Amino acid sequence: MAQSTETTDWVSRYADEVIAESERRAPGKPVVVASGLSPSGPIHLGNLREVMTPHLVADEVRRRGHEVRHVLSWDDYDRYRKVPLGIEGVDDSWAEHIGKPLTSVPAPKGSAYPNWAEHFKAAMVDALAQLGVEYDGISQTAQYTAGTYREQILHAMKHRGDIDAILAQYRTKPKAAAKKSQKPVDEAELEAAEGSGAAGEDDGSGGGAGYFPYKPYCTACGKDFTTVTAYDDDTTELTYTCTCGHGETVLLSEFNGGKLVWKVDWPMRWAYEGVIFEPSGVDHSSPGSSFQVGGQIVGIFDGTQPIGPMYAFVGISGMAKMSSSKGGVPTPADALEIMEPQLLRWLYARRRPNQSFKIAFDQEIQRLYDEWDRLDAKVADGTVLPADAAAYARAVGTAAGELPKTPRPLPYRTLASVADITAGHDEQTLRILSELDPEKPVTSLDEVRPRLDRAEQWITSQVPADQRTIVREEPDTELLGSLDDQAKESLRLLLDGLDEHWSLDGLTHLVYGVPKVQAGFSADATAKELPPEIKTAQRSFFALLYRLLVSRETGPRLPTLLLAVGAGRVRKLLGA
Ligand SMILES: [Zn+2]
């Protein structure tokens, strides 16, 4: 990456800040950035921002030659709060596991993974690998059950009065307790998050024995419907009761079956890992949010709050119902089925974290790809603006190198049209693609993959059946018979020029040229030389072709459609 682009975008500016702050706080140590994800169900595509924001900053820091560690905390020791709807292989019987850690809940039936958390983590791990995101994944189950945070837990228990005093300032605002990695927040999630947050009712303060920032999972039933009833600072003896009837006294200096409540857990880990940068969702900017409260609690652990920009919501436009098979939740894996990793990275890189945007699953994806290809061309010819060049560089690769790319990136909309018409038939697809540019024909589908596969997947999974293109088998004799002389003449001009113009450019010239020639102009005449009525004539000529070829008024771009249908069938359907 060129030196001159370093201060041109939001990523560079955060990298400046993060490097300076890291050198101040921990000179000579690797820079630490962090993300947290809860594998409580399919991980929403919008939550990818939780990982992409620190990833992009970490990558820029790495490009500048610094050592970086991107900690991705899998919050898999969180309690199972509810059974998500519509998950294949999961029924109401999963409700009996509510209250257990996510790693103690069985995976959906038929899963290759040992438990619920691992099952939902796997899809995200795969997506992050495709996206080129380098991270250090940390299972909170592994950390807690190994006793890794023992000192921190004992310390928090010792200072429970201080923690309680901080939390008490916010207890009148229970709505602010939403956990930061549960975005987008729906009502049920918010309710559940309050249950795990320290400002909720279930923060350990209800036992009559005072406030405790720690919650054991019951050793009899495995769930967290427990109440700490006594704690001895000297012996670390902790007594709890559970709604299942079990009760016992354990030594917290040895016991590894519980966790700090969320609002204490998060700042404890900032201090433990030395996190310099960790963003969170914009819905957590309110007073009493985990981030704000954490900023006060982190001092108890001798730590400092990270630089933590609030990021805006990432929406999804037009995702088809049929493809949201995983509980109606669009995941990063769903997006990567219809777009290349570069495009998805670009969407995150080009917008500042506080700008919201949408990821297109509808027709908009074609326009987005056109925009991406134009950017690619500007980069190639050197006319690109510095900020756009920075976003481009972050999209196509990382400090580790470029991501695998499509060798010959034909326009996505062309590939989508071809896939639409051929229904994924490889031989027919290759025939059409080889005719697009006879000077430089596509000779193997590998040249246009994986972009072709993404476009095919988009057509198959996202475009509704009534918008798909079905080429007529037989000519519409009724329509052909009803045509006036002018319409017949336009078809004859087109048919006469087919052989000579059989390429994408040639056919584009031909279909736009026919109405010009009919009106007495040259086929090469430009818009300035032509009367505005030509546009009307072109529109009605195009509509006629669509009706004769696909029995509709519109369809894929005509040159692509003609190539896809093939010269022989075009002749037959146009009544030659
Ligand atoms: Zn129990």
Supply the pLDDT for residue 326.
Answer: 57
State how far the Cα of 417 lies from the Cα of 465, in Å rounded to an integer.
14
CA 85 to centroid of ligand 1, rounded, Å = 26
**Residue-range domains of the chain with CATH:** 1-309 (3.40.50.620), 406-468 (no CATH), 477-573 (1.10.10.350)
pTM of the model: 0.88
Interval 54-109: pLDDT, tens: 999 999 999 999 999 999 999 999 999 999 988 999 999 999 999 999 999 999 99
CA 103 to centroid of ligand 1, rounded, Å = 17
Supply the pLDDT for residue 183.
Answer: 41
Supply the pLDDT for residue 179.
Answer: 52
- The token pair at 236 is 């670390």
CA 267 to centroid of ligand 1, rounded, Å = 28
CA 217 to centroid of ligand 1, rounded, Å = 8
Match 């459609």 to its residue by tokens: 561
CA 212 to centroid of ligand 1, rounded, Å = 18
- With a cut of 70, which residues of the chain have pLDDT below it? 1-7, 172-207, 283-286, 320-327
Interval 288-300: pLDDT, tens: 788 999 999 999 9
Q: For residue 58, give every residue at least 6 positions away whose Cβ sits within 8 Å of its Cβ, in sequence order, or none.
A: 31, 33, 68, 70, 134
CA 567 to centroid of ligand 1, rounded, Å = 74
CA 254 to centroid of ligand 1, rounded, Å = 19
Q: For residue 64, give every residue at least 6 positions away whose Cβ sits within 8 Å of its Cβ, in sequence order, or none.
A: 6, 15, 19
Q: Please check whether residue 353 is in contact with residue 310, taking contact to mean a CB–CB distance below 8 angstroms.
A: yes
Supply the pLDDT for residue 320.
Answer: 65
CA 21 to centroid of ligand 1, rounded, Å = 45
CA 258 to centroid of ligand 1, rounded, Å = 13
CA 245 to centroid of ligand 1, rounded, Å = 6
CA 159 to centroid of ligand 1, rounded, Å = 27
Which residues keep their CB under 5 angstroms from ion ligand 1?
A: 218, 220-221, 242, 244, 246
CA 216 to centroid of ligand 1, rounded, Å = 10
Match 């309710």 to its residue by tokens: 191
CA 100 to centroid of ligand 1, rounded, Å = 10
CA 227 to centroid of ligand 1, rounded, Å = 10
State how far the Cα of 558 lies from the Cα of 546, in Å rounded to an integer.
8
Supply the pLDDT for residue 136.
Answer: 98
CA 226 to centroid of ligand 1, rounded, Å = 7
CA 177 to centroid of ligand 1, rounded, Å = 25
Q: For residue 190, give every residue at least 6 positions away whose Cβ sits within 8 Å of its Cβ, in sequence order, or none.
A: 175, 178, 182
